Structure 1
C-alpha cells in the first residue's frame, strides 16, 4: 500500500462516523411500522475491525475482509466482507457500504440477519436480502428483503421469490401477545 493510501484509510474510517448502520425493530404506530433507528445518533464515532483491509484508490473503495465488525454507539454490524465506496473530491465522503456473508445487525432491542446488506448513505437506506430474519424479544419476521428508510423510520419486509423457502416466498411472522388472565 502506498504512503498516500494509508491516510485515505484513516480518513475513510473517520468518515464512517457520519453513517448509520444498525438493527431494526418493527413497532406499530399510527403511521405504520417504524424502525428503531429513527432516534439513532448517526454522528457517533464508528469502529471497524477486520482480519484484512485492501484499499483500491483508483476504484475509490476499501474492502474489509474476514470477521468484519462495525460498531457505532449501541449498534453493531458483523459480516465476512464489507466494501466501502467513497468519493474523493478534496475530502473523502462515504457513499455506500456493501456487506456480505452472514450479515448480522444488532441494536440493544433487536437483531436483523440476511446474507447481504447495503447501506446507501446518500439515500439513507439500509437493505438486507437473502433469508432475512428480524427478531425482537420472542417476536420475529422472516422474508426475502428488509428495507429501512432512516429518514422516515419506516421498515418494510418483502417476501422472496416464489418457491423460495418453506413459506413459498411469503413474509411470515410470529408475535408475542400480552398475557391476560383466563
Structure 2
C-alpha cells in the first residue's frame, strides 16, 4: 500500500506491481502484522456491535503507514480478545507512507485481506508526481495499486516529472 510508483500508463487505469525490495516504495517494508494504534478526541465503544467509533482529529498508525481522518470506525471480533477486522475512515482522509501520500473522502482498510480502498476525489502524490481519480485500491500483499477514473470525465489523470537534461534544448529537432 507499493502505494504507487509513478509510471506513464493508460489514461484510464494505473496499475503497478513493484518488487518488494525496490527503492522508492513507501510500502516495501510495510508490516501489516504490526499493531494498529489509534488516537482521537473521542471514542465511542459499541460493544454489542463489536465496533469502536473514533472522532475528531483521528490518527491511526500501523507500521510505517499513517491514516488520518475526521472519523474512524474500527470493526473487531471479540472471541479471544479484540481482533481488528476493518477500519472505515471518512472526512478528509489522508493515507501517508514515508514517500507517498493519498487523499480522498473515504477509505476502507480490510485488515484480513490487507487491502485499502479509497474513494471520493482521490489524489495520490509521490514527490512532484501526482495522479487523480475516483477510486484507489491498494493491495498490501502484492504491493499493487490500481487507480480508477472519476469526476466528470470518468478518467484517471496525472502529471509526472521527467529527468532534466543539462545543456539540452527544449525543441525536438
Q: Tell me if TM exceeds 0.5.
A: yes
Q: For this structure pair, what is the TM-score category when the shorter chain's length is used for normalisation?
A: 0.7 to 0.9
Q: When the two structures are superposed, what TM-score results if normalisation uses the length of structure 1? A: 0.77
Kindly indicate whether structure 1 or structure 2 has the higher relative contact order, using CA contacts under 8 Å at least 6 residues apart. 2
Is this contact kept in 2: 1:82–1:99, CA < 8 A?
yes
Determine the structure 2 residue equivalent to 1:26.
Answer: 5
Say if 2:150 is the partner of 1:175: no
Determine the structure 2 residue equivalent to 1:37.
Answer: 27
Determine the structure 1 residue equivalent to 2:104.
Answer: 114
How far did 1:45 drift?
A: 4.1
Q: Partner of 2:27: helix, strand, or coil?
A: helix
Identify the match of residue 86 of structure 2 among 96, 106, 109: 96
Quote the RMSD (CA, aligned, Å): 1.8
Aligned length: 153
How far did 1:39 drift?
A: 2.4
Determine the structure 2 residue equivalent to 1:69.
Answer: 59
Q: When the two structures are superposed, what TM-score results if normalisation uses the length of structure 2? A: 0.81
Higher helix share: 1
Is this contact kept in 2: 1:110–1:137, CA < 8 A?
yes
Structure 2 gaps, min length 5: 8-14, 18-24, 169-173
- Moved segments of 4+, more than 6 Å: none
Say if 1:121 and 1:155 are closer, same or farther in 2 by CA, change over 3 A. Answer: same
